[in-house]
Amino acid sequence: MAKLPVVRGDDAIKAFGRTGFSLDHWRGGHAILYHPDGRHLSVPGGRKELKPGTLRTLIRKAGLTVDEFTKLL
């Protein structure tokens, strides 16, 4: 299993954007991203680092592997 990178919320939003997710709106401190095929993600935005469990769940929901996500950064 690949090592999970340390990522800020804003960097994760940009990386998911490279896979086809687009920013729909902000709700509180979270960016709501939608994909044309109907998937959606709620990513904590900002400069704080994402917790490993949160990041792993977002990567899984996006249909990516950790290696694929790391290459998008």
Exposed, middle or buried by CB within 10 Å (0-12, 13-18, 19+), for 17?
A: middle
Question: What is the tens place of the pLDDT at every residue in 2-56?
Answer: 789 899 999 999 999 999 999 999 998 999 999 999 999 999 988 889 999 999 9
pTM: 0.89
Q: Is the pLDDT of residue 1 over 80?
A: no
CATH class of the domain whose range is 9-72: alpha beta
3 state SS of 40: strand
Domain ranges of the chain: 9-72
Q: How far apart are CA 11 and CA 46, in angstroms?
A: 9
